[in-house]
Amino acid sequence: MSKPNPFDDPSNPFEDPSITHALNSSSPIIVEEPSNDKQSEDIFSVPLYSFNDTSSQQAPTNHSPYNGHSSSSTAAFFDTSKDNLSTREEALKRKEQELADKERQLNQQREQLQQQRTRGANNFPPCFPIMYLDIVAEIPDQHQQTVLWFYREWLLFLVTLVLNFFASLWTLFSHPESVSNSAPTNMGVALTELFTHTLASFFLWYRPIYNAYMKDNSLYFTLFFLFNGFHILYTFYMAIGIPSTGGAGLIVLVTLFQEHYIGPAVLTLLATIGWLSMGIMAVILYRKTFVHYKAAGHTLKEAKTEAYTHMGRSSVVREAAMNAAWKTATSSSGNRT
């Protein structure tokens, strides 16, 4: 005979009427827990709700974190972020452009230094090179046309001097009565000016203006203004053609045409046109250079400072100053004794 299993309960405990009534009831169950001193009681009210009643357990479904004020604040946040990003992007673009400009300037300076180091041998004058001249390589881009026009003015001056000499020479051999006494002197002066003024014009005003635009130096600008001013006066003086001054100009031109010396008169006319054309060109370039001189902020005081600096660097000037100081010291000591 088998023994009954104590764990087997033929009855369903949830079918007990008391348990069923408790589950379906919404009244609180009072649980009493005795205290250690048996004098106080803690009453815990635990409400039990019906499992079928789920109305109190439902969460509101009409609330969304992206609706109402939350959505507007989120949109404002994204707009502010976009503005900040665009501002930073513009700042980065500006810095990138500045860096590109600085890099371009550094490259240009590097190229200029390299050209100065590796520049060719002396190339001027072509017949007997004694110096190096290159407008494209040595003059900044914005001043190359101006210096080129100065070079053309100097070449026109040489051509005019040649025409002036041959006009005076032809006039001498033509023996016109009105200028027969002054013709020899005129030819001699013209020949002298052909050689002396060629070198003087190059070293006194063309080379200074070349260096002035190349180095942006106040001293060279001042030298140019001084000697080129005399050059302009000399040009119009020669265009007048006063006898015995070496100028084949207007006075000589009128005399030759009146006496029907057509050959020397035509050559004198070309020389006169050369003097007047060169004078007008010289005035225009002189004014343009003066405007640049003022705009660049150059002053006569700055030119004096640069002159003193160049004199201090010159070994000849230092030796002369030392010799003068030594002579002064020896003479003063001799006077004391």
For residues 226 and 300, the answer to whether their CB atoms sit within 8 Å is no
Global pTM exceeds 0.75: no
Query: What is the chain's pLDDT, residue by residue, as a tens digit (337 residues)?
Result: 455 555 555 555 555 666 666 556 545 544 444 444 444 444 444 444 444 444 444 444 444 544 544 555 566 656 667 677 888 888 888 888 888 888 888 887 777 666 655 556 788 888 888 889 999 989 999 999 999 999 999 999 999 999 999 999 999 998 888 887 888 999 999 999 999 999 999 999 999 999 999 999 999 999 999 999 999 999 999 999 998 899 999 999 999 999 899 999 999 999 999 999 999 999 999 999 999 999 989 888 888 888 888 776 666 666 766 777 777 777 766 666 5
Ramachandran quadrant class, 320 (left: phi over 0; alpha: psi -120 to 50; beta: rest): alpha
Beta strand segments in the chain, E: 29-34, 41-46
- Tell me if the bond preceding 208 is cis, omega within 30° of 0: no
Q: Return the structure tokens found at 114.
A: 């390299």
What are the residues facing 31 on neighbouring strands?
A: 44
Cα–Cα distance measured from residue 277 to residue 270, given in angstroms and rounded to the nearest whole number: 10
Ramachandran quadrant class, 217 (left: phi over 0; alpha: psi -120 to 50; beta: rest): beta
What are the residues facing 41 on neighbouring strands?
A: 34
Cα–Cα distance measured from residue 41 to residue 33, given in angstroms and rounded to the nearest whole number: 6
- Whole-number Cα distances in Å, 92 to 61, 80, 82, 84, 130: 47, 18, 15, 12, 52
Cα–Cα distance measured from residue 207 to residue 195, given in angstroms and rounded to the nearest whole number: 17
Closest to 45 in 3D by CA, of 32, 24, 26, 28 = 28
Q: Return the structure tokens found at 151.
A: 């070079």
DSSP at 204 = I
Q: Return the structure tokens found at 17.
A: 């009427």
Burial of 244 (0-12, 13-18, 19+ CB in 10 A): middle
Cα–Cα distance measured from residue 126 to residue 210, given in angstroms and rounded to the nearest whole number: 18
